[in-house]
Structure 1
Amino acid sequence: MSAAALRVLALLGALLAAGAAPAAERPSVASTNVCTDQMVMTLSDAAQIKGLSPYSRDPSQSWLAAEARRFKRLSGGAEDLMMLRPDLVVSGSYDKRATREMLQQQGVKVVTFNVMPDSLDEVKQQIRKMAALLGHPDRAELEVARLDAAIARARAAVAPRSLRVLPLWRRGWVSGQGSLISLLFAEVGLINAASDLGVASGGYASLEAIVKSKPDLILVADGADYAEDEGTALLLHPALQRFYPATKRIVIPEQLTVCGGVMLADALDLLVAELTRIAR
């Protein structure tokens, strides 16, 4: 039997062992953070979801904004949550502490997630933690397997080359070490060129400094050939377009890399597609 077949059998065995809780035992849930929103929508039954964060329908922040329209949008305060009385509230570590404490005082179970995890192992742990809370541990294993497969595909796509890539966002913001995009780079073998600009965790870079540092590629959130506002205008500056035309730009929407969750598999698969396009 092949190694691939053995891995499939092992995964099926894990799924059968983990199982899912009976429907009557699965908690109702509300989410107060756009990152936990997306994990909840992916890992729970629709009937379990009492409400999602105020930003759940914002396509600039959530990869699942369209799907979020199916569910109640919360105000962000404790009042509507206490009226809904979900069995469980999930939130981000940077959400209002006072809201979490008020809910806990009212007997509501609140679980906080680190929406900016320090490693992809932590991402997987949080997916498993969320799925277990929701009564669907089997779904976590499927998502973790999907992420592992995406990592393997990205490593294979990157392996032949040693590429220095500069993650460049609005107004010249550069993502440095500790960012999710940098974690993905390190996992698959890309080099974050932010360090060449003296950028540690993140910071703004001038057009001159970017061109002078000569990264092999730049990563941007949008491949449009027009600027929607001043924030994106720098990316279309003639000098930057000269040295970094479409054939030297990886385009990955920012919504795929702002949360440590299930959407990172999609980000990695898009990275592979972009590297394949550039190599043609």
Structure 2
Amino acid sequence: MTRAVALALGLGAAVLSGGAFAEGSPQRVVSLNVCTDQLAWLLAPDALVAVSTLAHDPATSAYAAEMADVPVTPGAAEAVVLGKPDLVLAGTYTTRATVTMLERLGYRVETFAPVSSLDEAVANMRRMGEVLGREERAARMIDAFESRRARLTRDAGSGPRTLLYHAQGRSSGAGSMADDLLRAAGMRNVATELDLPPGGRLPLEAAVLADPDLIVVGAPYEGFAWATEMVRHPALAATGALRDVRDGADWSCETPKLLDALERLVTLADEAGT
């Protein structure tokens, strides 16, 4: 008997023993993606029995401290099954082998695509509320989110030309969450002006020659890392435009923390006085 067959038979027995076909609102939720981790925790903390390994890392999870007591799953199918979930949450590009196996065994798996705009974030909040049977709680979250978003949003193009500059000289143009946040803050995204795709690379010389009003970089990694040295280069500091933005985990996932990131950008724009 091959290992794959043995695994399928073993997992199938676990399915038949319960957990895969519960009716009503999910009572045992396992999340395999750092973004679904956070959104599920916000909407149904009582039902969340396991989260991904990234959930406890403050560099990637904006609610790492709050989720510290939630058990972590390594993401393998056999580990997920041991949690007897009636719902598994995953990203569209993560743990694909696990997701495929669980779906074949009859587990309910809901996948969420990465968000690239605030509107998409709201759509995922609403969908997660439906998936978890917490529609009212999701609606309250969305109402608060939209009210705060309206207060923070500035007129398009009214603020400084801004370059977000990350490790390895990466930046994000149109079609990215970073671009949407910059536009909401009234800033003009230099990466979009230069037709950079999301996650595109911009050489140091090109970054300086673009002459942005602000160059926004994330918090440095602990210790030394070649990947982050470019954003600490003296040539960037010499422009007088360099600004640090902490809490980079706020930027990526569809949670209210996105608006904390937006508020920091608005503050930078106001301080620049452009």
Shorter-chain TM-score bucket reads: 0.7 to 0.9
**1:210 and 2:207 aligned:** yes
Looking at structure 1, the residues matched to 259 and 136 of structure 2 have their Cα atoms a distance apart, in angstroms, of 17
Is contact 1:131–1:137 with CA below 8 Å preserved after alignment?
yes
Cα deviation 1:33-89 (Å, max 9, x = unaligned): 011101011111x32111001211112111111122211100111111111111111
Partner of residue 30, structure 1? 30
Q: 1:196 to 1:244 in 2, by over 3 A?
A: farther
Looking at structure 2, the residues matched to 236 and 100 of structure 1 have their Cα atoms a distance apart, in angstroms, of 40
Looking at structure 2, the residues matched to 184 and 29 of structure 1 have their Cα atoms a distance apart, in angstroms, of 31
1:241 to 229, 237, 242: 237
Looking at structure 2, the residues matched to 60 and 203 of structure 1 have their Cα atoms a distance apart, in angstroms, of 21
1:1-280 → structure 2 map (5 Å cutoff): 25-44=25-44, 46-115=45-114, 117-156=115-154, 161-222=158-219, 228-245=224-241, 248-249=242-243, 251-279=245-273
* Identity over aligned pairs, percent: 33
Looking at structure 1, the residues matched to 99 and 197 of structure 2 have their Cα atoms a distance apart, in angstroms, of 32
Q: Name the SS for the 2:109 alignment partner.
A: strand
Is contact 1:177–1:202 with CA below 8 Å preserved after alignment?
no
Structure 1 window deviating more from structure 2 (194-203 vs 235-244): it is 194-203
Which ranges in structure 1 are unaligned for 5 or more consecutive residues? 1-23
RMSD, aligned CA: 2.5
Partner of residue 20, structure 2? none
Is contact 2:32–2:95 with CA below 8 Å preserved after alignment?
no
Is contact 1:197–1:210 with CA below 8 Å preserved after alignment?
no
AA of the residue aligned to 1:36: T
Deviation at 1:159, TM superposition (A): 6.5
Q: Name the SS for the 2:125 alignment partner.
A: helix
Looking at structure 1, the residues matched to 58 and 209 of structure 2 have their Cα atoms a distance apart, in angstroms, of 34
Q: Name the SS for the 1:219 alignment partner.
A: strand
- What is the count of residue pairs matched by the alignment? 251
Is contact 2:173–2:195 with CA below 8 Å preserved after alignment?
no
Q: Name the SS for the 1:30 alignment partner.
A: strand
Looking at structure 2, the residues matched to 268 and 175 of structure 1 have their Cα atoms a distance apart, in angstroms, of 16
Deviation at 1:217, TM superposition (A): 0.9
Q: 1:150 to 1:253 in 2, by over 3 A?
A: same
Deviation at 1:223, TM superposition (A): 7.5
Deviation at 1:216, TM superposition (A): 1.4
Looking at structure 1, the residues matched to 234 and 223 of structure 2 have their Cα atoms a distance apart, in angstroms, of 12
Looking at structure 2, the residues matched to 65 and 109 of structure 1 have their Cα atoms a distance apart, in angstroms, of 26
Cα deviation 1:232-253 (Å, max 9, x = unaligned): 22222222111135xx526253
Structure 1 window deviating more from structure 2 (255-264 vs 227-236): it is 227-236
Looking at structure 2, the residues matched to 85 and 35 of structure 1 have their Cα atoms a distance apart, in angstroms, of 21
Which ranges in structure 2 are unaligned for 5 or more consecutive residues? 1-23
Q: 1:243 to 1:99 in 2, by over 3 A?
A: same
Cα deviation 1:214-237 (Å, max 9, x = unaligned): 11112211279x974222222222
Looking at structure 1, the residues matched to 124 and 68 of structure 2 have their Cα atoms a distance apart, in angstroms, of 24
